[in-house]
Amino acid sequence: MKIKQNIRLSEYNTFKTGGNAKFFCEVKNEGELIEAIKFAKNNNLKFIVIGNGSNLLIKDEDYLGLVIKMSIKGKDIDSKNDVYTIVSTCAGESFDGFISFVVSKGLSGIENLWNIPGTVGASVVQNIGAYGTEVKDYIVSVEGIDADSLNKFIYKNENCNFGYRESTFKKNKNLIITKVFFKLNNAFIPNLEYPALKDYFLDKKNISIKEVIKAIGKIRKNKLPDWKVLGTAGSFFKNPIISEKEYSDILLKYPSLPKYLAETGFVKIPLGFVLDKICGLKGFKIGKVGLYEKQSLIIVNYGGASYFEINNFAKIIEEKVYEKIKIKIEREVEVI
């Protein structure tokens, strides 16, 4: 494994921002990962593990530590019964590649997560979710290396503290995921509860998994920017989870605000709706940064915007939302 120096981080994240990494390496197996952590420790450096960089906002100043790009590959069928199949996949696999693999084996469950531009490891860290499916519902266990002790860890699903875009691994960056075990269905039952997907199929019967994947691809293409063309990290903010009382107060002024289920006493509200229909900010732009014309929850770098500009823009959005509905919104992207 080669440790490189002064690597431009803007080439390693979909928002296309960031200064240089003082040190950078790509790890292809557990041994290399341990070697990289030891290098950071021996040289008193901070370190960070990245996947495809599709949920990051990287600062303009240089990162004075070691950036470790997770590139451990491999996927396999582990075991099978009449109903489920356990499949393992390494953290550096692309999530889409993993979906293609399981679909080719006739397995289902995670197909609604099609076209999310991340790696398997990152998808677990932030418990990705889309179109009525969350990755946590298909995870059996997560393996990795604890950078503190350099020992291997195995966490069962119930110990991962999964929540809405949350997990133990998001809070504790010393727990570095290397491999994930998924429990997938042998029989395909489409999950069409999400309104856009339900509308797409209307009353169609006998829908195949390939048709669902095609539908998700089309829906996403119509709403989300192509990260290969525009700088973006997808949803920039989380959908706020607020109390029922706060919700009914907002409703007095804005009666059409939708809500989704959350834990007892709370509801989740679509911030995209708030930014668009309540704040009138769809397509709002300052310089090279703006809210995407077709989906207000997404901040776009229209070319050459810095972290500084994006961060300032996000602060303005946060203030505008607070002015209108008195809710403090949280960011979904991780800042490095």
Residues catalogued as catalytic? 165, 235, 332
Q: Which of 108, 317, 332, 336 binds ligand EPU (CB under 6 A)?
A: 332
Q: Which residue's CB is nearer to ligand EPU, number 51 or number 65?
A: 51
Residue 70: beta bridge partners? 27
Q: Which residue's CB is nearer to ligand EPU, number 47 or number 162?
A: 162
* Piece of the chain touching ligand EPU by CB under 6 A; list 42-50, 88-96, 180-188, 274-282: 274-282
Q: Which residue's CB is nearer to ligand EPU, number 41 or number 277?
A: 277
Q: Which residue's CB is nearer to ligand EPU, number 65 or number 109?
A: 109
Using DSSP's 3-state secondary structure scheme, residue 277 falls into helix
125 near ligand EPU (CB under 6 A): no
For the CB of residue 332, give the shortest distance to ligand EPU in the complex, in Å.
5
CA distance 123 to 143: 14
270 near ligand EPU (CB under 6 A): yes
| Chain centre distance of CA 120 | 10
CA nearest 49: which of 10, 6, 12, 2? 12
For the CB of residue 186, give the shortest distance to ligand EPU in the complex, in Å.
25
235 near ligand EPU (CB under 6 A): yes
Interface with ligand EPU (CB under 6 A), residue total 19
273 near ligand EPU (CB under 6 A): yes
* Piece of the chain touching ligand EPU by CB under 6 A; list 9-17, 33-41, 231-239, 323-331: 231-239
331 near ligand EPU (CB under 6 A): no
* Piece of the chain touching ligand EPU by CB under 6 A; list 15-23, 97-105, 139-147, 266-274: 266-274
The answer to whether 270 and 263 are in contact (CB under 8 A) is no
CA distance 254 to 235: 23
Residue 332, CA distances (Å) to 204, 219, 329 in order: 35, 21, 10
For the CB of residue 113, give the shortest distance to ligand EPU in the complex, in Å.
9
CA atoms within 13 A on the CB side of 216: 24
For the CB of residue 277, give the shortest distance to ligand EPU in the complex, in Å.
5
CA distance 82 to 88: 18
Q: Which of 59, 73, 173, 238 binds ligand EPU (CB under 6 A)?
A: 238
Going along the chain, which residue ranges are E strands?
4-8, 20-27, 47-50, 56-57, 63-70, 75-80, 84-90, 129-130, 133-134, 139-146, 151-156, 175-185, 231-235, 241-243, 260-261, 266-268, 285-286, 289-292, 295-301, 334-335
Cβ density class 292-316: b for 16+ within 10 Å, e for less: beebbbbbbbeeebbbebbbebbee
115 near ligand EPU (CB under 6 A): no
CA distance 317 to 291: 9
185 near ligand EPU (CB under 6 A): no
Contact set with ligand EPU (CB under 6 A): 130-131, 194, 223, 234-235, 238-239, 258, 270, 272-273, 276-277, 282, 295-297, 332
